[in-house]
Structure formats: structure tokens, C-alpha cells
Amino acid sequence: MNLLWVPLLPLIGTLVPLLTERFGRTACAWMTATLPAAALLIVLNLAPGVLAGQTIKSSLPWIPMLQLDLAFRLDGLGLLFALLILGIGLLIILYARYYLSPKDSMGRFYSFLILFMTAMLGIVLSNNLIQLWVFWELTSISSFLLISFWSHKQEARRGARMALTVTGAGGLALLAGILLIGQVVGSYNLDEVLAHTIQVRESGYYPAILILVLLGAFTKSAQFPFHFWLPHAMAAPTPVSAYLHSATMVKAGIFLMARFYPLLSGTDMWFLIVSLTGLATLLMGAYFALFKHDLKGLLAYSTVSHLGLITLLLGMDTKLAAVAAVFHIINHATFKASLFMAAGIIDHESGSRDMRKLNGLWKYMPYTATLAMVAALSMAGVPLLNGFLSKEMFFAETLHQSTLGSLSWIVPVLATCGAVFSVAYSLRFIHDVFFNGEPIDLPKTPHEPPRYMKLPVEILVALCLLVGILPGYVIGDLLYSASAAVLQGVVPEYSLAIWHGLNLPLAMSVLALIGGLAIYYNRKVLFQFQAQFPEADAKEVFERAMKQLIAWCGRLYMFIDNSSLQRYLLFMLLFTITLLAAPMMALNQTAGTRDTIPADGVVITGAILLVLGAVATVIWHRKRMIALLTLSIVGLIVSVAFARFSAPDLALTQLSVEVVTIILLMLALFFLPQRTPKESSPHQVMRDLGIAAMIGGIVGTLCYALMTRPHATISDFFLANSKTGGGGTNVVNVILVDFRGFDTLGEITVLGIAALGIFKLINRMRLFMPSGDERGRAWSSDRHPMILSVVSQLLLPLALLVSVYIFLRGHNLPGGGFIAGLITAVAIIQQYIAHGVEFIKDRLRLNYQWMIGAGLLIATLTGLGSWLFGRPFLTSWFDYFHLPLIGEIELASAMLFDLGVYLTVVGATLLILANLGKLTTPERPVHQEET
Amino acid sequence: MEMVYALCVGILTACGIFLTLRGRTFPVVIGLTMLSYAVNLFLFASGRLNVQDAAVLQKTAENYTDPLPQALVLTAIVIGFAMTAFVVILAMRARADLGNDHVDGRLPAQPESAQPREKA
């Protein structure tokens, strides 16, 4: 469990600065540091085991079926990175305490910083690839927050956006790569994945996996051609740059390559892509670093260059190169973090980062200058400093590799060129800033920074010296165990001595130093040469590209979503046709083997009426009243069809629904515009007719094919158990209230929700109420004809009686709650029509919302009732009783459930129709705004 | 009989689709209603057509119709009504709030132009 705390403590720690900000800046910094420090102690506590060769694992199962666990592991590589992240992170916390001005929100800054720290720890400690990816994305997001910390500056916002876009896109590529790895290996567990190296390399997905994973790594590590975001991320406060661009963010990509080194390396493809990318980045970064006038710009390009160096090392085909890569990761982190901090001090105490103004600072801050110079010399690769050692190893490996076949000699030559420029820009950093005359109109008079602002730099520079002089003692074990983790096997022999004798790598180093001096001495010529090229601002190019992309997306979006229902439907229908075309063509024969029933006169007459009704509706759809009438013909024929084909329940339901639907549409007609102008062009009509005919043809064919195929059904179970298990002979009703009662409960719930939704929509509706019909004739004032009133009054008890009868017999004969509910609703609606709302209001005090609620409650309680008897939800019960006079009757719990259905249906139907009808009267729902 | 039935379902579907592709709310509502007839008939047909078979358990009956599609269609009819009602009221509300009953994305002020309405 110990290991889980390492990422967990900083995660909790993100809240600490926010809570402690009020106690002052120093207190806030100390409190913020406690939890990461505790995490560092845990790591140090675990370190001896790891250095001895153990891999410490710890996991919490989350969704085991999806192979998602919270899994962490600590091996040599993880240990190295965890130490860098936590160690440098703590120094950054101390440094930032003095760097941030009182105007900056310290709590917010520290919170983002610790969040970023958590994310980085998550990456380096994850033992699950999906989890690793989540943390990977979290670094992108938290670095976005950090880079844009000074969000009032445009360059900060743009730089942050650029970093997020590039690294985020890379993250997506990485996710795709990880998913492919998961497909090939069958697991996302890192141990499992690393154990299936050969399987991955030999699968057909290998090229895709490699490219996707490398895209993720290259974007994060600012490798050419994705390097452009890194210099612009310098808009961040310097502590952020020092943290992100030395030990963490950009090293995440390097870490990923090192982590997957045993899995993906070893093929020609890996060596070619990685080494060439690294080489290009190394040269380009080193060259451009020299020309940056901004102190941080120089360091940014230098970072790009050193990242390229590490990538190149990982891409070379010797095992020692991987060791050198790990070594350089450590060395670069230490000297680059201290250089960034020194640059921050200079900026902080002199007010400028422009090397054309910053001159001769040695006089003003000799102590800082000494520290910065040592770190810069380490960057240049001067002996006795750590940068020298790894650069020496790098040179040696460039001579031993054969990555490019017969062209391999080019690598050491270009590596030396890179080193020459590296020396030149390091010299520029030292000479331009600390010597070279007097400062030129700086905003402040430079002076030494506060004591504790220097402390982190001192520690790091001391490390540079210690590693540089006593590499074996200081770093030997850590380097060995990290290299062992990268290589996943035998670590080749290597020696960390400073002096290897007079050999070619040493000659290359000397050459680089001399060349660097020469270039720096003649820098004016080079600057003039470089000045001929127009400077492309990556920010502008990027912004333009983004704008273009967004505009393009906007056009695509407007093409798909132009808020026209017709277009959406068209897309869906065309898509349906395409999807159905292939399987329909594969169906060799439309007609199946089942015997068909000969058509008789009644059916043919019905069919003709139905078709006429449907076609007439289409033809006259703009004449609304006629369209409604013809539509009702269709509905009636459909209900007759149900009756004809042995479905009496359906016939009854369809008939009563037909009545309420037509009433509803008549009411709606009143409120909708009275005319439907001709909208469609003939072209459009032809197109729609074509599509409609195609869909109709497909559906008809399917229907025919379905009906003529043999009938296999699960209904035999229902037929066999309906009477014995459900106590009813009307199987349809027993299915509804018993076998599939839970479905019905869901359905009446939907019905209730729809009705309530309608009620809310009607409320506060601003109405268009026409005073006359479309020809301008006023409505009839004779609103409630006498005959209708009298007859409907007489009919009401009869209709209610019928509905009770239908309800009661539903379990055994056609009928039931749904149909009875609809009949009751129709009976009451008829009273509304015949007498008007005022009349009903006085006589019938029904609250329809309550009715829906009561119905749902009864149905649910009936279901819950079976729990009392220890049975599953909605288990039914029934028994027969003998009553005097009446005879034998059956009582069943399903009837109670059906009562719930009945009430819901009545409530919902009346809530809809009565409220819609009321809109024209003074009884319309309250809070109404008059038009 | 099956042929006639399938033909009716096909024609109902085609009419429904054509109407839902119109540019105003009312034809769309009618089209949806007609489509739901077609869908219900289609679902019902999955139990095959029976003219003589019994629908309710009887001592004398030998063959029964398939009750399962019937149960499905029964609730579908009722829910279909609720949905039609919802669409109708939505159309009314849209007319009340937006001032027109277009569903084709056109502005009422410029009915002839094919300018899509800008999203807010």
C-alpha cells in the first residue's frame, strides 16, 4: 500500500495551498511542501529495495473485467524519475516562494504545480497503460494551466493553447497506440505488455503502434517538427519553465520512449525514426539557440536540442546508448533546472531577459553569476561537470553505432557539430550576460537575490559538480537500476570515470570546445547571415492554421447541422438505405416457405381504403382538415385490421387511441397556422418521393419476407403458463401485467412523464388565437349544441360502465387497464366537448397530475408488495373465491397493478387533452402571459 | 393476404416518410402518426397473420395467435399517442416562442432564400 501514497499524497496536496494561502506566503510554501516531501520520503524509503533490483508493485482493483486497475509500480526508471520530479519539485516550491510577486495568487500557482507533479508521478509510476494515458493527459491540462498562469498576457494564453493543442493531439495518438497494444497483447497491464515483446513486434499492427506511440512522445518532448510549442511555453512564470522543461513535462516523452524501449525498440523502423528525429532536433535546437536574444528563449532551444540528443541516444542500436540516455536525463535535469532558475533570478532582479541589454552582471551579482556559469559550463560539456560525462558517453556511442548502415559515420560528425553550437550558446549565456561591458538601460539596478532564492540553484549546481567529479559514488546505483529497467535485461559494462585516456570521444569534446569558442568569437558574421532569413513566428503560423481549421469545422458543422429537420432526416434515411442495401441484396428470395393465406374480398377492400386514405393524406396534407379526416380513415382501417387478424385487444386500443389522437390534432389545428404554404420545390418533392418510395419498398419487402418465413416464437411459454401461473386466459393482458409487468411499469412511467412535460410546455405559452377560420369567418357562437349536451350526459354513465366492464374482464377476455383507461378518458373528454370547461370544472374535481402519481404509486407498490412475501419484484398472486349470489370470482394482485395502469392512462390522456382544450378558455393554466 | 398486408405497410411507410420530410410542423406530425401505424403493423406482423386462431385461452381451441407481438404493439400504441401529443405541443410551443412553424431551418422573414439559420 505504501507506493499508492506516492501519487496520492501530492494529489491531496493540491488542496493544501488553496487552504493555507491566507496564512501568508512563507507559511503557504512550507505547508505546500509537506505532502510532496512526505511522498519523497516514501520513495527514498523504498529506494534501497529498488536499487537492489526489486520492482515494487501495488494495485487496487477498480473494474477488473475491463482490466482497469489502479496499479503502480516502482522500478529503477520509475525511481529515477520520481526522485527528479519530487526533488526538483520541492526546490521549485522554495524558489517560487521568492519568485512570485505579491500580486500573483500563490495558492492557485502552487495548486496547479502540485497537480502537475501528481500527474507526472502518475505517468512514471503507472503499471497500467490506460492509467498512464490518463495521467499523460492530466500533464497536458495542468501544464496548460501553468503556462497560462499569467492569463492577462496574450502570449501566455497563446503559448498555453499551442502547448495544449500539440501535446493533446499527441496524447490522442498515444491513446490509439495504447489501444492497439492492448488489442495485440490482450492486456493493458504494463508487466503483461512488456512480457509480450515478440508478439507486439511481429504483429501486423507494429508499424501503426510504433508511429502512434512515437507521435505521443515526440509532441510531448518537443521533437522536430513538433518542437515549436516549447519556446512559446516560455511565457510561463520561470519556476514553471524550470520545472516543465528540465525534469518533467518534456521528459515525459523521453520517459515514454524509455518505458517502451524493451517493447518497441530493436527494429530498423525504431532506429531510423527515432535516431533521425533526434539528430534533426539536436542540430536544429542547438543552432537556433545561439540566435535567441531572450535568455529563456536560448534555454528553450537548448532544451529542445538536449531532448534531441537523448532521443538520438535512444534511437541508436547499442545498449550502452540507452545507458547514456538515462545518464543524460539526470544531468540535463540538474543543469537545466539550475540555469532556468538563474535566468529567473536575473529577470527578477534586473527586470529584463534581453541579452542585448543584460551585460556585465558579474559586478552586481557575482554569486549568482558563479552558479550560473558552472551550470552553463556543464551544459557546454566541460570536464569535471556532469554534462561532460554523458556527452562523452554520447560521443563514444555515436562512434560505435551502425544505425544508418554505411552512412553511420555521419552521426558522430553531426553530433560534433551540434556540440559546437552547444558550446557556443553556453558561452553566449556566460559572456553576454555576466561580462561584455555594462548593462544597457535596465528597468532595475541588478543585485543579489534573497538568500533562499539561491538555495535551490546551489543544491543543483552542487549536484552537477558532485556527479561530475564522483559519478560512481553519487549516481552509480541509480543509473544502473534505471538502465536495467530500460533494457529489461543485462546492462552492458560501462565505466563512469572522468578520464578514459586519450581517445576519439575526448578529441570530439576538445574539437567542440574549440569550435564553439571560434563560432562565438565570430558570432557577428553568423548573426548577419541569420538576419537574412525572414523570421517565421510559429505563433502566427499556428494561430492561422488553427483559425483555418476552426472555420473549416464550422462549415462542416453548418453543412450537417443547419437546424433543418429535413436535412437531419435526409441524412438518417440515406444512411439507413445504405446500411440496408447490402443485407437486402444478400437475401436471395423475398418469399419464404410458409404457406400464405389467400386474400378475401374484405381484406382487399380494407387495403384499398387504407391506401386511398394514406395517399389522400399525402396529396391534401396542406388542407389540414381534410388531411385529418383521411388520416382517421387510415387509423380506423388499421384497427379493423387488428380485429381481423385475431388481435381484439389491439383493435380496441387502436380504436380508442384513434379517437383521442384525432381530438388532439383537431385542437392543435386551432393553434397552429391555418395555412400550410407550398414550401417544397418540385425538385425537392421528387427527391423526397424517391426516398420515401425506397424506404417504403424496403420496409414492405422486409415485412413480406418476415411474414412468409417459418414462425419460431417464445410465446409458447406464455400460452402454457398464462392460466396456471398468471391466473388469466387473456394472454396479452397477462403478459402486460404479469410476465412483463416491469416493462409495463416503465411504459406507464414514460406516459406520465410525457404528460407532465406537455403540461409544463402548455404553461406560460404565448398563444396565437385566431378569431376566425382561414377565410376570415368568425367562429360559431353556438358553442355547446343542446342535442350533444343531452346525449353525452346520458352516455357518460354508460361509457363509464363499459370501461369498468372492460377493466374487470381484462384478465380473461379482451380488455384491461390500458383500454379501459382510454375509454374513460374519451367519455370524460366528450363531456368537455359537449359542455365546456366551466361546466366540468364545477362537477368533476379531478386532479390529473395526482391521478398519474397515484397510478404509478399503486403499480409500484403492487410490485413492492411481493417483497413482503419474500418474492422478487412484481411477483403476482391470485386465488379464486366463492361469494354468495355472485358466484366464483378471481382476485389477483395483477388487477391492482392494472388499476395503476388504468389511472395513469386516464390521468395522462386527460392532462394532455383537457389542458390543451382549456387554452382557449379563461380556465387555461395559470401564470399565462397574454399576447 | 401477406402480399396485400406488406404492400399496405410499405405504402404507409412511404407516405409517412414523405410527410415527415415536409417543411412545416403539421405535415410532420401527420407523417409521424402514419409512420407509427406502419411500425405497429410491422411489429404485429412478426407474429404472422392469423385469421382463425384464438386470441384468448379456450378449452376447445387448438391454435393460438402469438400474444407477444400483440402485447408489444399494445403499449406501443399508447406510448405512440403520448409521443404524438408531445410533438404536437412542442410544435405549438415552437410556434408560440419562435413565431413560425418551420422545421426546415428557414427564417420566416426570408422564406424563399435557402439561408440556413445561424445558431446562437
> pLDDT tens, A515-545?
999 998 888 888 888 888 877 677 778 888 8
Grid look-up 505546500 returns: A32
Output the CA angle A658-A664-A666, nearest 5 degrees. Answer: 105
| Mean pLDDT rounded to a whole number for chain A | 88
Q: How confident is the model at residue A81 (pLDDT cuts 50, 70, 90)?
A: very high
Range of the domain at B24: 2-50+65-98
In a domain, B58, yes or no: no
Residues on chain B touching A818 (C-beta within 8 angstroms): 74-75, 78
Q: State the residue for C-alpha cell 422573414.
A: B109
In a domain, B110, yes or no: no
Q: In Å, what is the CA distance from A853 to each residue of A428, A623, A755, A918?
A: 81, 39, 11, 22
Question: Is B8 near chain A, with CB under 8 Å?
Answer: yes
Distance CA A262, CA A219 (A): 21
A754–B104 C-beta distance less than 8 A: no
Ranking A97-111, A189-203, A374-388, A591-605 by mean pLDDT, the lowest is: A591-605
Concatenating the DSSP letter of every residue in B53-109 gives SBSS--SS---B--HHHHHHHHHHHHHHHHHHHHHHHHHHHHHHHHSS-B-SS--TT
pLDDT at A713: 84
Q: Is residue B61 less than 8 Å (CB to CB) from chain A?
A: no
CB contact under 8 A, A664 and B84: yes
Q: Which residues of A touch B100 (CB under 8 A)?
A: 673
Residue B56 lies inside a defined structural domain of this protein: no
- A426 vs A339: CA distance, rounded Å: 10
CB-CB neighbors (< 8 A) of A736 in chain B? 71, 74-75
pLDDT at A651 over 50: yes
Q: Is the pLDDT of residue A571 over 70?
A: yes
In this structure, are residues A764 and A928 in contact, taking their beta carbons and an 8 Å threshold? yes
Asked if B120 is an interface residue toward chain A (Cβ–Cβ < 8 A), one would say no
Under 8 Å CB pairs connecting chains A and B tally to 325
B59 in a domain, yes or no?
no
Higher model confidence: residue A703 or residue A564?
A: A703
Q: Is B23 within the bounds of a domain?
A: yes
Q: What is the mean pLDDT of residues A370-382?
A: 92
Residue B80 domain-assigned?
yes
Question: Which one of A560, A672, A675 makes the best mutation probe of the B interface by having the most chain B beta carbons within 10 Å?
Answer: A672
Question: Chain A residue with minimal CA distance to B91?
Answer: A672
Chain B residues with CB under 8 Å of A628 CB are 30
pLDDT at A922: 64
Q: Note the pLDDT of residue A871.
A: 81
Contact with chain A for residue B111, Cβ under 8 A: yes
Pair type for strands A878-883 and A68-74: unpaired
Q: Is residue B112 part of a domain?
A: no
Q: Nine-digit cell at A340?
A: 532556468
Q: Cβ–Cβ of B42/A740 closer than 8 Å?
A: no
For residue B2, pLDDT beyond 70: yes
Angstrom CA distances, B69 to A386, A430, A746, B76, stand at 80, 86, 17, 10
The confidence band for A668, taking pLDDT boundaries of 50, 70 and 90, is: confident
Which is more confident, A778 or A633? A633
For residue A361, the distance in angstroms to the closest alpha carbon of chain B comes to 57
Q: How confident is the model at residue A880 (pLDDT cuts 50, 70, 90)?
A: confident
Sign of the C-alpha dihedral computed for residues A810, A816, A820 and A822 taken in this order? negative
Average pLDDT of the residues in A788-814: 90
Distance between CA atoms of residues A806 and A820, nearest Å: 6
Predicted pLDDT of residue A581: 85
Does the CA dihedral A509-A511-A513-A515 come out positive or negative?
negative
Q: Angle, nearest 10°, between helix axes A471-487 and A319-350?
A: 120
A53 pLDDT band, cuts 50/70/90, is confident
DSSP A448: P
- Tell me what the mean pLDDT of segment A427-452 comes to: 87
- Under an 8 A CB cutoff, do A611 and B11 touch? yes
| Of the candidate ranges A174-178, A269-273, A470-474, the one whose mean pLDDT is the lowest | A470-474
Q: What is the least distance, in Å, from the CA of A672 to any CA of chain B?
A: 6
- pLDDT (mean) for A401-416: 87
Q: Is B92 within 8 Å of A672 when comparing Cβ atoms?
A: yes
B108 CB near a chain A CB, below 8 Å?
no
Whether residues B85 and A654 touch (CB distance < 8 A) is answered with: no
For residue A775, pLDDT over 80 is answered with no
Please state the rounded mean pLDDT for residues A33-52: 93
Choice between A251 and A489, residue whose per-residue pLDDT is larger: A251
Per-residue pLDDT, A548 = 92
CATH number at residue B10: 1.10.287
Interface probe for A, chosen from B33, B44, B73, B107 (most Cβ of A below 10 Å), is B33
Give dist(CA A744, CA A901) in Å, integer.
Answer: 8
CB contact under 8 A, B71 and A755: no
**pLDDT at A1 > cutoff 60:** no
Nearest chain A residue to B68 by CA: give it: A715
Count of structural domains, chain B? 1
Q: What is the mean pLDDT of residues A839-845?
A: 82
pLDDT value at residue B115: 41
CB proximity B88 to A under 8 Å: yes
Give the model's confidence band at B109: pLDDT under 50 very low, under 70 low, under 90 confident, else very high: low
CB distance A411 to A279 below 8 Å: yes
Assigned C-alpha cell, A353:
531577459
| SS3 per residue for A182-232 | HHHHCCCEHHHHHHCHHHHHHCCCHHHHHHHHHHHHHHHCCCCCCCCHHHH
pLDDT at position A178, please? 94
For A829-840, write each residue's pLDDT tens digit. Answer: 888 888 888 888
CB contact under 8 A, B17 and A696: yes
**Distance of alpha carbon A230 from alpha carbon A303, whole angstroms:** 9
Q: Please tell me the predicted confidence (pLDDT) of residue A931.
A: 40
- Closest CA relative to residue A390, chosen from A427, A419, A420: A419
Angle, CA of A306, A486 and A43, to the nearest 5°? 90
Per-chain mean pLDDT for chain B: 83
- Supply φ then ψ for residue A558, to 5 degrees: -65, -30
Q: What is the pLDDT of residue A681?
A: 83
Phi/psi of residue A150, nearest 5 degrees: -85, 75
What is the pLDDT, as a whole number, of residue A929?
43
Is B41 close to A729, i.e. CB distance below 8 A? no
Q: What is the pLDDT of residues A111-149, one digit of tens each?
A: 999 999 999 999 999 999 999 999 999 999 999 999 999
Q: Distance from A556 to chain B by nearest Cα, in Å?
A: 13
Whether B49 contacts chain A with CB within 8 A:
yes
Question: How do residues B14-67 score in pLDDT, each as one tens digit?
Answer: 999 999 998 888 899 999 999 999 999 999 999 888 888 888 888 887 788 889
Is A920's pLDDT higher than 80? no
A892: closest CA of chain B, how far (Å):
18
Cβ count within 10 A of residue A19: 12
Q: What distance in Å separates the CA atoms of residue B84 and residue A915, rounded to the nearest whole number?
A: 16
Question: Which three cell numbers, joined as nine digits, stand for A16?
Answer: 493544501
Place of cell 524509455: A258
What's the pTM value of the predicted model, to 2 decimals?
0.69
Q: What is the per-residue pLDDT for A436?
A: 84
From the list A657, A661, A673, the residue facing B101 with the nearest CB is A673
For residue A631, give the nearest of B21, B34, B92 by CB distance: B34
**B116 confidence band (pLDDT: 50, 70, 90):** very low
Q: Is residue B118 part of a domain?
A: no
Residue scoring higher pLDDT (A442 or B107): A442
**Which residues of chain A have a CB within 8 Å of the CB of B46?**
706
pLDDT score, position A328: 93
Q: What is the mean pLDDT of residues A765-788?
A: 74
Give the 3-state DSSP-derived string for A498-538, with helices as H, strands as E and coil as C: CCCCCCHHHHHHHHHHHHHHHHHHCHHHHHHHHHCCCCCCH
DSSP string computed for A544-558 = HHHHHHHHHHHHHHH
Give dist(CA B5, CA B49) in Å, integer: 9
| Best residue in B73, B79, B92 for a mutation probing chain A (most A CBs within 10 Å) | B92
Q: Using the beta-carbon criterion (under 8 Å), do A761 and B47 form an inter-chain contact?
A: no
Share of chain B above pLDDT 90, in %: 37
Give the model's confidence band at B107: pLDDT under 50 very low, under 70 low, under 90 confident, else very high: low
What is the band of A223 on the pLDDT scale with cuts at 50, 70, 90?
Answer: very high
Check whether A692 has a pLDDT greater than 70: yes
Q: Which residues of A touch B96 (CB under 8 A)?
A: 671, 765-768
